[in-house]
Structure 1
Amino acid sequence: MSAVVRICKLDDVEPERFVTSNIVRPKTLLIIRSVLTLYIWSALLSTWITARSAGGYLRFFTNLSFIGLCFYMLCTCIWSFGYLRQTPTSRVAWLNDRSPWWARLHQLLYSSIICFHFVVPIVFWTMLSVGMDKMTTVEKWQNVSVHAFDGVVALSELILNRNVLVPRHSVIVASVMVLYMFLTFVVYASDGTWVYPFLNWSKGPIVAASYVGIGVGMFIIFFLLMIVHRLRNNWGDRRPVVLELASHQQSGSLCKETSATELNIV
């Protein structure tokens, strides 16, 4: 198992990067994430309740990736809440005392959702957004929430957190998409329908090109996001990490800026 951890570059995950920011305090970060989490969970529950069937709902990549986003945001809020409940001097220790697998799985989940939720809006609004004028107001809201607001959530994470993207994780993200492609063939074999029109092999070479194009596009977006993460973190590492330190002598709280190097969390 340790070999898998090393190969996947999961042996140096820093969980404090999940819950801190170079822009806002941890408490502010939690509030922003909580608001976004409540919204996307309301959209998820709405789309699930109004779906014709569970099988019909779960066959769509947009829905599956949206579920992943919802659970990522929920888990991140739980991490942040637990982090803020500790005294300032014990917060890092509290994070490191958790099972390392929670942090490793959270890192992999982040690598997938941050990529997918830039890919999904692009693919949906360029290839799949037809018939919106025939939808009800609720259906339009659901579509915008799942296929556009997800990008807003991903963008907020890209701006606010201190996480990293690891090149090797692009293979894991690509593997998830390949597994989904296999699922679409299973769906076709079971009921004779393609989940998305551009996956229909009967349309000839253009379909194969779309498979390759989406895959290449995913890798391009992943590595562009990786560059953005590095530029953001390089900029952030030259300025203080915004932390909230509670005063032990007073009932109020004090906001203090402490360098990432001093805290040994870079």
Structure 2
Amino acid sequence: MKIFSYASWGVPRTGFDPSHTFVRSHFVSPLVLACIRTLLCIYCFTAITTCYTWLAHRTATISLKDVNIGSYTIQQSDAAIGQSFSFFTYLTFWSLGFYFLVSSIHTFMYAFRQRTWLHSSWPKPLQMAHSLYYSSITCFPFLVTIVFWGTMNSGWPTGRFEQWINISVHALNSLFAIVEIVLPATQPPPWTHLSVVLLVLSAYLGLAYITRETQGFYVYEWMNPAHGNWSIVLHIIGYAGGMVALFVLARCAIVARHWIAKKTEGARRENAEMEEKGIKLDDRSDTWSSEMVISKPSQARRSSNHFV
């Protein structure tokens, strides 16, 4: 008995994604899907580049809080550019950008050549990694959005830059994830993917404390033991539980999308069949009418000849 099998992780023996669901859609053409993914990729990287350029010359003021921590203000300038790679928010946004980059390339290839590297030449480990990548970017953005607006936001910032970057990385990120749940024809992720999603979340916790040791600051204030060890434990349990719930909800949404697409396709086929039957009936009616028209002159000729 094998402890590990690719089939349990979304790569069956018959071949990875035989129906090309990662590059197709129930609702739009592959070319349109590729263009949408490209636009989202461009926006992600443009937002990050603009953010870093702005911080290199100016200072952003952000007010935060937590469930058991009062409001506090942090100043972000050029040093925040390097520090951003320790924030789960920005790591998730970077991940969205690279996912849309890779997926748009594959989708363009499928749109023009009906094949992709992902399906034809990539080894199984990379195919499995792409499937896991999809599972992560349809879950993590929602955690970022809910945690920020639900527990961390301490008022609407006054600066235009702060307003825009907050909307981009804490709101549009979830909109982009919704696009990836709704548009592609992807199958629901295997339940095994949930363990990897939780593992990534746990690994990030370790990264955050490494940042504390190497750079001297807590990425998120709730990680500071000064606020109590129980606070840290409860935050970890809460985020893990939220991650499980978000994975289940994302999976259910994909199942619902398949059901809606199936019903929609069934309705289209029924309409097409009804239209086809209507055309056949019209054709039969025309044929019958033409025979009647043709038969009359012949009868008339026969009658006239008999008269003569």
Shared fold (TM-score greater than 0.5)?
yes
Unaligned stretches of 5+ residues in structure 1: 242-256, 258-266
- Where in structure 2 are the equivalents of 1:97-116 lying within 5 Å? 97-101=120-124, 102-116=126-140
Higher RCO, 1 or 2 (CA under 8 Å, sep at least 6)? 1
Residue 84 (1) aligns with residue 111 (2)? yes
Checking the alignment, whether the CA contact within 8 Å between 1:201 and 1:208 is kept in structure 2 is: no
Alignment partner, residue 248 of structure 2 = 223
2:210 paired residue number: 186
Query: SS of the residue aligned with 1:107?
Result: helix
Equivalent residue, structure 1, for 2:90: 63
Q: Choose which of 146, 159, 168 in structure 1 pairs with 2:192.
A: 168
Q: Deviations over 1:52-106 (max 9, x none)?
A: 24531101010011111100011111011111121xxxx2587632214443221
Partner amino acid, structure 2, of 1:220 = A
Residue by residue over 1:149-199, the C-alpha shift from the partner in whole angstroms, topping out at 9 and shown as x without a partner, is: 011111111111111211110110111110000011111223442111122
Pairing 1:157–2:180 present? yes
**Which amino acid letter does the alignment assign opposite residue 210 of structure 1?**
H
Number of matched residues? 236
1:233 aligns with 2:237: no
Do structure 1's residue 143 and structure 2's residue 198 form an aligned pair?
no
The answer (yes or no) to whether the contact 1:121–1:148 under 8 Å persists in 2 is yes
Tell me which structure has the larger Cα radius of gyration.
2
Q: In the alignment, is the contact (CA less than 8 A) between 2:23 and 2:106 conserved in 1?
A: yes
Q: Which secondary structure does the structure 2 equivalent of 1:133 belong to?
A: coil
**2:47 aligns to what?**
43
Distance in 1 (CA, whole Å) between partners of 2:231 and 2:207 is 20
Aligned-partner Cα distance in 1 for 2:262–2:144: 31
In 1, the alpha carbon distance for the partners of 2:247 and 2:98 equals: 20
Where 1:48 maps in the other structure, the secondary structure is helix
Q: Given the two structures, how large is their TM-score scaled by the length of structure 2?
A: 0.70
Contact 1:46–1:142 (8 Å) recurs in 2:
no
Is the partner of 2:135 in helix, strand or coil?
helix
Do 1:167 and 1:226's aligned partners in 2 also have CA atoms closer than 8 Å? no
Q: Which amino acid aligns with 1:157?
A: E
1:121 counterpart (138, 145, 169): 145
TM-score, normalization: structure 1? 0.80
Relative to 1, partners in 2 of residues 1:5 and 1:55: Cα closer, same or farther, differing over 3 Å? farther
Which position in structure 2 is the counterpart of 1:209?
Answer: 234
Q: Which runs of 5+ in 2 are unaligned?
A: 56-77, 267-271, 273-308
Tell whether the 8 Å contact from 1:113 to 1:154 is kept in structure 2 after alignment: yes
Percent identity, aligned pairs only, is: 29
Separation (CA, whole Å) in 2 of partners of 1:60 and 1:191: 13
Which AA in structure 2 matches 1:62? T
Distance 1:130 1:63 in 2: 19
Who is 2:280 aligned against?
none
Deviations 1:217-266 (A, max 9, x none): 0011101111221222233345549xxxxxxxxxxxxxxx9xxxxxxxxx
